[in-house]
């Protein structure tokens, strides 16, 4: 009897190669993605962490310095200035993009003629290259022949014709406007997707009860859009603290560091002054800051939902 049982177990499909291959097939399907993720994400992440404890200029042999690169951050005056600019940039861009995107989404969610055209047109800046947008707005902001100043002068508003990118008081605000123009369409589409998930019956019932449009917005639309709002705010915050293209192309952190943000400072430390170890250390500090800010924002908004 035991020999018969053993023979059945050996011939069972659970012990066959086909069965084992079937159990491994899910892992084989995700293996290419895991390889790509390891090569392009985990590899650079670990390599950057190793680089952050070295002193290396890209030419001479790297020297192990431990935590000296991280200690140097506390004596770097530009770090505090850049972080301040990132906070101001985040406040300006997040507020501007969310308010403008929500306003446009509410308009385009109505039964208006030409909605597809307007949605496509308003989304166009999102798909445009950062380089193209930065150069375009640099021309618009040009104090001599820029369209903005020329328009103000033609209207007799010469006092509004400013040196938009050369004035330390307004240069950062000028970049914030460019960032809002670039990304509001992206957040608008997300809001539109959220609006289309709200049941129409809720608005019909509210109108029957005599609710005005403002009351419907306050008690139906905005509460049901909270999950979408969390997504939009989180993406906006992460983008504001990681912003690089627009400040670098348009001002390179100037004038007089008035638009210096952390990503530009990190780039200049590494590729202009060849302090790759210190640049890597700054990068990991920025990673921690972005993670903490995003986690705090998610915690605050989730606690508000609980209340």
pTM, two decimal places: 0.85
The per-residue pLDDT for range 38-69, each reduced to its tens digit, is: 998 889 889 999 999 999 998 889 999 999 99
**Is residue 191 classed exposed, middle or buried when 0-12, 13-18 and 19+ CB atoms within 10 A define those classes?**
buried
The pLDDT score that the predictor gives to residue 1 is 47
Q: Is 90 exceeded by the pLDDT of residue 307?
A: no
The per-residue pLDDT for range 193-228, each reduced to its tens digit, is: 999 999 989 999 999 989 898 999 999 999 999 989
The per-residue pLDDT for range 147-162, each reduced to its tens digit, is: 999 999 999 999 999 9
Query: For all residues of the chain together, what is the average pLDDT?
Result: 88
The per-residue pLDDT for range 240-295, each reduced to its tens digit, is: 998 999 999 999 999 999 999 999 999 999 999 999 999 999 999 999 988 888 88
Among 148, 174, 168, 144, which residue's Cα sits nearest to residue 160?
148
Lowest mean pLDDT among 102-116, 162-176, 193-207: 102-116
Q: Is 80 exceeded by the pLDDT of residue 300?
A: no
CATH number given to 77-306: 1.10.3720.10
Among 187, 222, 165, which residue's Cα sits nearest to residue 94?
187
The pLDDT score that the predictor gives to residue 305 is 59
Q: Is 244 helix (H, G, I), strand (E, B) or coil?
A: coil
* Domain segments of the chain as ranges: 77-306
Percentage of residues of the chain with pLDDT beyond 90: 67
Higher pLDDT, 26 or 229: 229
d(CA 274, CA 55): 10
């Amino acid at each position: 009897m035991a020999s018969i049982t053993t023979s059945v177990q050996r011939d069972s499909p659970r012990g066959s190669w086909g069965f084992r291959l079937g159990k491994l097939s899910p892992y084989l399907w995700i293996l290419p993605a895991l390889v790509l993720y390891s090569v392009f994400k985990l590899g650079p992440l670990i390599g950057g962490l190793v680089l952050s404890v070295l002193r290396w200029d890209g030419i001479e042999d790297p020297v192990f310095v431990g935590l000296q690169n991280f200690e140097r951050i506390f004596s770097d005056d530009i770090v505090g200035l850049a972080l301040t600019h990132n906070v101001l940039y985040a406040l300006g861009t997040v507020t501007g993009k969310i308010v403008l995107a929500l306003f446009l989404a509410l308009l385009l969610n109505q039964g208006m003629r030409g909605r597809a055209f307007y949605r496509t047109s308003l989304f166009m800046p999102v798909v445009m290259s950062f380089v193209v947008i930065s150069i375009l707005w640099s021309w618009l902001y040009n104090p001599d022949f820029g369209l903005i100043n020329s328009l103000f002068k033609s209207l007799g508003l010469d006092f509004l014709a400013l040196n938009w990118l050369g004035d330390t008081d307004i240069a950062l605000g000028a970049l914030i406007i460019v960032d809002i123009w670039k990304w509001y369409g992206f957040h608008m589409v997300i809001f539109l997707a959220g609006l289309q998930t709200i049941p129409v019956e809720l608005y019909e019932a509210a109108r029957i009860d005599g609710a005005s449009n403002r009351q419907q917005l306050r008690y139906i639309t905005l509460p049901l859009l909270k999950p979408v709002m969390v997504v939009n705010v989180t993406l906006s915050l992460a983008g504001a603290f990681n912003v690089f293209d627009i400040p670098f192309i348009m001002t390179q952190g100037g004038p007089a560091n008035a638009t210096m943000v952390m990503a530009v400072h990190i780039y200049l430390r590494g590729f202009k002054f060849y302090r790759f170890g210190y640049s890597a250390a700054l990068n990991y500090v920025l990673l921690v800051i972005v993670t903490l800010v995003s986690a705090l924002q998610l915690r605050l908004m989730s606690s508000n939902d609980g209340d």
